[in-house]
Structure 1
Amino acid sequence: MTQPTTPDPAARYVRPTDRMDAWFNAAVRWLTEHGVSLLGSRVLTVRGRRSGLPRSTPVNLLTRGDERFLVAPRGNTEWVRNVRAAGEAELRVGRRVERVRLVEVPVAERPAVIRVYLERWGWEVGRFVEGLTKDSTDAELAAAAPGFPVFRVAAAA
């Protein structure tokens, strides 16, 4: 008899569960596209890895010191997979468009970024992060880090 395997944390993906998720994302995207950034929201547009067509989704742009980050609280979403394939994308607020290069942060460096992200947006993403909060221990954040892709945002070349 084979033993059940533990799911790979790096493959973690939390699916949207209801219409409220879709409505909330649509509202944030519409506002951001029209120049109203909600606590740092941006519309991320990246080339689809299979279709080659532009794909857009609202994201929260985290600024920490002189660095900027995108965190995927739902895990390995379509936008994460597309960014890994493309490497470059656009961040938009209203008419302001910034071409960026997105570099995935190593797992060991993610906990500190995830903590700051949860301090700022924990109220919004709490149901996607399996009980993590800004007050989670370093060990809890380190254990969860493989399932939370984080990208450093840099100017496109």
Structure 2
Amino acid sequence: MSARYVKPTGADGVFNSLVGWLTRIGLPLAGSRVLSVQGRKSGEWRSTPVNPLRVAGERYLVSPRGHTQWVRNIRVSGEARLAHGRRVEHIRVEEVADDLKPPILRAYLKAWAWEVGRFFENVDANSSEERLREIAPGFPVFRIVP
């Protein structure tokens, strides 16, 4: 497993706070949601804005920054909450194997590259299947279980 992690900058914190606030008041930016996951050590709920993705009828969460705290927490709990406005959805997730990630990563880049493309160095939605498979270990993906 890759230990890839891109630490947020100060500007990222401001952007995430704004997107999270808009989503919490019911004005999600292009379908964003606020993901809340219980801390694996503290037990406290931690929240961050995410961009859920639908591919071939399935829903996914992709971590463009790599192995973040929300990723580590959701691996332990297997469940979380997705919210926008007053609507809260309780979800369960399963991690996607690296060899199954390329079409999901491609769809994610098509949908969200304007926001997260900078985390995918030298990779875009037109990259080869081989290249997407090569970077897959650094980009955790979770399928939202119905």
- Could you tell me the TM-score, scaled by structure 2's length? 0.97
Q: Which runs of 5+ in 1 are unaligned?
A: 1-8
TM-aligned CA deviation for residue 38 of structure 1: 1.4
Q: Following superposition of structure 1 onto structure 2, how do residues 1-157 of structure 1 map, counting pairs within 5 Å?
A: 10-16=2-8, 18-155=9-146
Count of residues paired in the alignment: 146
TM-aligned CA deviation for residue 77 of structure 1: 0.4
- Could you tell me the TM-score, scaled by structure 1's length? 0.90
Indicate the structure (1 or 2) with the bigger Cα radius of gyration.
Answer: 1
Q: Which runs of 5+ in 2 are unaligned?
A: none
2:124 and 2:57 map into 1 onto residues whose CA distance is: 24
2:138 and 2:102 map into 1 onto residues whose CA distance is: 11
TM-aligned CA deviation for residue 35 of structure 1: 0.7
| Aligned partner letter, 1:62 | L
For residues 1-37 of structure 1, the C-alpha deviation after alignment (integer angstroms, 9 at most, x for no partner) is xxxxxxxx62111111x32101100000000001112
Equivalent position SS for 2:110 = helix
| Aligned partner letter, 1:14 | V
Equivalent position SS for 2:51 = strand
TM-aligned CA deviation for residue 65 of structure 1: 2.7
Equivalent position SS for 2:52 = strand
2:10 and 2:138 map into 1 onto residues whose CA distance is: 24
1:92 and 1:66 map into 2 onto residues whose CA distance is: 20
Equivalent position SS for 2:2 = helix
| Aligned partner letter, 2:136 | A
**How many percent identity over aligned positions?**
53
2:55 and 2:102 map into 1 onto residues whose CA distance is: 13
Equivalent position SS for 2:67 = coil
Equivalent position SS for 1:90 = strand
1:65 and 1:29 map into 2 onto residues whose CA distance is: 27
